[in-house]
Amino acid sequence: MLSIKVEGGHRLEGEVKIEGAKNAALPILAACILADGTSELRGIPLLDDVQVMIRMLEALGASVTAASDAILVRSGPSDEYRCPSDLVCRMRASLLTMGPLLARRGRAVGALPGGCAIGARPIDLHLKGFTALGARVKMEHGMIDIRCDGRLTGARIYLDFPSVTATENIMMAATLARGTTYIENSAEEPEIIDLANFLNGMGARITGAGTHVIRVDGVDSMKGTSHVVIPDRIEAGTFMVAAAITGGEVKVNNVVPDHLKSVTAKLREMGVEVKVGDDETSVLVSKKRKRLKATNVKTMPYPGFPTDMQAQTMALLSLAKGTSRIVESVFENRFMHVAELNAMGANISVEGRGATVRGVEYLSGAEVKATDLRAGAALVLAGLAARGETTVLYAEHIKRGYLNFAGKLRSLGAVCWEEEAE
Ligand code: UD1
């Protein structure tokens, strides 16, 4: 087991560079299955989840090689449509290979996916989309088997909830379908625009990505292309909170400030200063007042406040003056970090999808558990501000989404390190 130890009380100062977005890299890698030829991808963060996707692609017949600052994915005709269960079970985003496999090879078989334990996380919307495109879905013994005869057929699909990966999966499946597909009530996340740009670079015909209706006109074939992945807005948001929680001043480089609007708005409401750099690729975050102000946060699909920033923001609000209310409207069970923050002296109570955070004057270092990726990051942030030493157990969760998290924090003046334990 990996743990991250943090000695609290050190103010963060300096500059940090944000990686390419994990949640854009994963669907973009999966999309390579659709093409004949080689794609050159820059800005792919070599995180644990990304390594799982790369191994998945290799198991599905693609070759993946590193070339200085890019990775090359060569894909072409192959009969392989079975996703290895050991990989699928490690990451929910492995589902993203299903749409491309179905479109390109007419069949996709895999186990029900794993990932962070933050709610039921059904896959009905993915399957509804595939079925509407003409596929047949069979579920037996925990395995999903989806097939179609010949090409998929364009259709009009309404999503009951704007699911990010369902939108991506259906959009990818529709690229090689016969005719036109409309995805209505589609998710609008920047990562979906990035994927659509990549797919269009490969020859797809997609319009409307980033709005609530996406149109895909099916094409006969697609080829490899070059692409630079957008910056990770969640990693950026996490470092913005790190600056605020330590009363520091950090310039967060390689960001798209527009993607950070909801997080920036909330930080400003609390009294954190956020200045957008003149070049629009950085933000300078500083906290000058003694205590931040409480505020209310509700997670929503983009452009609302991201659920992936909820835990980190809760850590920050646990030290604010006054009472804050956090409503988690995306996932039904994403408050597992509350017990851990309370073990550090926070005063948070949960009722259903709402949490009441009564600000305390200080947190105390403790041994706590990373229950999922973002919860783990939140506990490290709490540890940075706490009195004494904090040990975040099960820190391997953090490595799924943050590259060199402890090292980057150290470069800003934090005292924290990784430790392998039994
Ligand atoms: C993606 C992100 C994840 C983020 C989440 C919400 C990736 C790889 N992961 O996850 O980091 O936390 O968006 O911003 O991009 N739902 C259904 N049926 C489905 C699919 C989803 O009911 O078929 C529900 C889920 O249970 C959840 C909600 O829709 O309550 C949102 O989930 P979704 O947007 O699908 O999240 P992911 O795409 O899994």
pLDDT, tens digit, for every residue of 189-211? 999 999 999 999 999 999 999 99
What sign does the CA torsion over 166, 169, 173, 175 have? positive
| Confidence band of 247 (pLDDT split at 50, 70, 90) | very high
The token pair at 374 is 């973002």
Query: How large is the average pLDDT for residues 383-409?
Result: 97
Summary mean pLDDT of the chain: 95
* pLDDT score of 68: 77
Task: Give the least confident one: 77-86, 99-108, 397-406.
Answer: 77-86
pLDDT tens figures, 290-329? 899 999 999 999 999 999 999 999 999 999 999 999 999 9
User: In degrees, to the nearest 5, what angle opens at C-alpha 375 toward C-alphas 91 and 126?
Assistant: 35
Report whether pLDDT(146) > 80: yes
User: Tokens 């835990």 belong to which residue?
Assistant: 311
Q: Give the pLDDT band of residue 67 (cuts 50, 70, 90).
A: confident
| pLDDT above 70: percentage of residues in the chain | 98
Residue nearest to atom 4 of ligand 1 (CA): 308
Residue 135: which residues within 8 A CB-CB, separation 6 or more? Answer: 102, 146, 147, 148, 152, 173
How far is it, in rounded angstroms, from Cα 239 to Cα 233? 10
Provide the percentage of residues in the chain whose pLDDT is more than 90. 89
Q: What is the pLDDT of residue 236?
A: 98
The predicted model gives 53-79 an average pLDDT of 92
Residue 114 has pLDDT above 90, yes or no: no
pLDDT at 120 over 90: no
Q: 318 C-alpha vs ligand 1 centroid, how far in Å? A: 26
Q: Is 148 a catalytic residue?
A: no
Catalytic residue selected from 32, 83, 116, 416: 116
For residue 332, is pLDDT > 90?
no
At residue 171 the predicted structure's pLDDT band, cuts being 50, 70 and 90, is very high
pLDDT number for residue 118: 47
pLDDT value of residue 335: 95
Which DSSP state fits 197? H
| Pocket residues: Cβ below 6 A from ligand 1 | 23, 26, 92-93, 119-126, 161, 163-166, 307-308, 330-331
Residue with the bigger pLDDT between 169 and 78: it is 169
234 CA closest ligand 1 atom index: 11
290 by Cβ neighbours in 10 Å (0-12 / 13-18 / 19+) ranks as exposed
> Is the pLDDT assigned to residue 244 strictly greater than 70?
yes
Q: Looking at the chain, how many residues does it have?
A: 422
Ligand 1, atom 29, residue with closest C-alpha? 163
For ligand 1, atom 32, name the residue with the nearest CA.
163
As a whole number, mean pLDDT of residues 366-384 equals: 97
